[in-house]
Homo-oligomer: A and B are copies of this chain.
Amino acid sequence: MQSRSEVTRQKILSSATRLFSLNGYDCTGVAEICDAAGVSKGAFYHHFPSKQDVFLNILNAWLDQLSSQMQNARLASQNVPEGLIAMSDLVDQVFQMSKNHYSLFFEFWIQAMRHPEIWQTAIAPYHRFQTWLAALLQSGINEGSIDPSISADDTSRIMIAMVLGLLLQAFFDPIGAAWGNVTRSGIKTMVTRISRRPL
């Protein structure tokens, strides 16, 4: 059972997610989050030092969940290229997130640009994720399953770009294409190009 304190924390996070998505981060105040969550300002500040901290908690929880699912897909595969293909099946899950969550996700980029203190804190999880993917590609080079002439760093950025860019298009044009399939096909094209194993 969740403690009362944890229930309060989750209420704040889910109300904030909804309000940020609906009205934007800048146009949402702590008072509105408290009203929507049915908690006092005292309770809010007991859990979070600031509105910005709420925002970063939402982001981190999302990235941590995604990383651990990707790690599991890798562990269940024989080699790195197969692991990457297995990870591409997680795409459907990401695409099935509500549109409200997408909106929050892009809002995050805008906030990071406007507020240097958000940027400094928020860049850490992005770097952690990109470094994790680059290390995975490097381990593929080391095990002989990935072309050693590629740059693991640049390739990790390009793969992240592909998924981000397809999310951006899916978010904007949800019925324009079978976005999950397009993404799997894009990842497979990249992985086939860098793999030394038949896929």
**Interface positions of A (Cβ within 8 A of B):** 22-24, 26-27, 99, 102-103, 106-107, 109-110, 112-114, 119, 123, 126-127, 151, 153-154, 157-158, 160-166, 168-169, 171-173, 176-177, 181-182, 185-186, 189-190, 192-194
The complex is assembled from copies of this chain, and their number is: 2
Collect the chain B residues with CB atoms within 8 Å of residue A110's CB: 24, 103, 106-107, 110
Collect the chain B residues with CB atoms within 8 Å of residue A165's CB: 160-166, 168
Asked whether, in the complex, the Cβ of A182 is within 8 Å of the Cβ of B168, the reply is no
30 contacts between A and B (CB under 8 A): A22-B114, A23-B26, A26-B27, A103-B110, A103-B113, A103-B114, A107-B110, A109-B171, A113-B171, A113-B172, A123-B173, A126-B169, A151-B185, A154-B177, A154-B186, A157-B166, A157-B177, A157-B182, A158-B185, A160-B169, A161-B163, A161-B165, A161-B166, A161-B168, A162-B162, A165-B165, A165-B166, A168-B168, A189-B190, A192-B193
